[in-house]
């Protein structure tokens, strides 16, 4: 069963504008990277927010492990988000006032794991992603490529079945973009996660297993 699928999906911002997605049905393949592409304004970022249960579809549904979850009550959606979904944003979106290690640990503490377990997993992930030496730095003291690796570590912290990444290479040079896609590719291929990346970047599209054009 696909960890993530949509059926008959459409979304309209309450402030108006066109309906997006036109009744889209799609199963996102586990163990693969799916690139969501398409012209600017077609709704790539919005789709990620709908898949991430942060926006509720106006028609159709999002299914996670086969269950329709997009119109579940807020608390249920927050719980599913914390347990099943990891997010990576274009600018890493790390809290500037906290250390890298604290930012990476936070989702695990929020999910109810002990400080000790969370610390151990956060250090292990940061080491695996090549940024272990930066654990005590603040986001302002590390490079953009390092910050994006930290953001991926944070997204992986709760071992999510699904990773949603919005233009994760948008601010990176080619070698850092390659590093981040290598990590996401490993998160998909060897760990059987479903990885969905909204992107314009031809390099990311080339490295993806499937392409969904909006």
Ligand X SMILES: Nc1ncnc2c1ncn2[C@@H]1O[C@H](COP(=O)(O)OP(=O)(O)OP(=O)(O)O)[C@@H](O)[C@H]1O
Q: Does 171 bind ligand X (CB under 6 A)?
A: no
Task: State the DSSP H helix or E strand holding residue 6, giving kind and residue range, or none if neither.
Answer: strand 4-11
* Interface residue with ligand X, options 1, 40, 74, 75 (CB under 6 A): 40
**Tokens for 200?**
């314009």
Q: Does 98 bind ligand X (CB under 6 A)?
A: no
Angle, CA of 134, 89 and 26, to the nearest 5°: 135
Stretch touching ligand X by CB under 6 A, among 35-43, 56-64, 113-121, 146-154? 35-43
Least separation in angstroms between CB 48 and ligand X: 8
* Interface residue with ligand X, options 2, 31, 42, 209 (CB under 6 A): 42
**Exposure class string for 185-203: b at 16+ Cβ within 10 A, else e:** bebbeeeebbbbbbbebee
Asked if 8 and 59 touch (Cβ cutoff 8 Å), the reply is: yes
* Interface residue with ligand X, options 8, 41, 130, 174 (CB under 6 A): 41
Judged by CB, which is closer to ligand X: 88, or 131? 88
Asked if 195 and 184 touch (Cβ cutoff 8 Å), the reply is: yes
List of residues contacting ligand X (CB under 6 A) = 13, 15, 17, 20, 40-46
């Amino acid at each position: 069963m696909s960890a993530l699928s949509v059926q008959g999906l459409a979304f309209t911002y309450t402030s108006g504008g066109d309906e997006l997605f036109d009744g889209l049905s799609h199963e996102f393949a586990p163990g693969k990277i799916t690139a969501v592409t398409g012209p600017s304004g077609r709704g790539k970022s919005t789709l990620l927010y709908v898949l991430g249960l942060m926006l509720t579809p106006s028609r159709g549904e999002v299914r996670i492990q086969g269950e329709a979850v997009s119109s579940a009550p807020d608390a249920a959606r927050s719980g599913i988000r914390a347990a099943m979904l990891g997010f990576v944003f274009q600018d890493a979106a790390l809290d500037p006032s906290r250390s890298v290690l604290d930012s990476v640990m936070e989702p695990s503490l929020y999910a109810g794991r002990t400080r000790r377990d969370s610390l151990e997993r956060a250090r292990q992930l940061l080491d695996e992603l090549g940024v272990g030496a930066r654990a005590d730095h603040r986001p302002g003291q590390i490079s953009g490529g390092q910050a994006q690796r930290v953001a991926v570590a944070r997204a992986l912290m709760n071992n999510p079945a699904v990773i949603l990444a919005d233009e994760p290479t948008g601010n990176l040079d080619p070698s850092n973009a390659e590093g981040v896609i290598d990590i996401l590719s490993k998160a998909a291929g060897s760990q059987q996660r479903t990885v969905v990346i909204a992107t314009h970047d031809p390099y990311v599209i080339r490295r993806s297993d499937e392409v969904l054009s909006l």
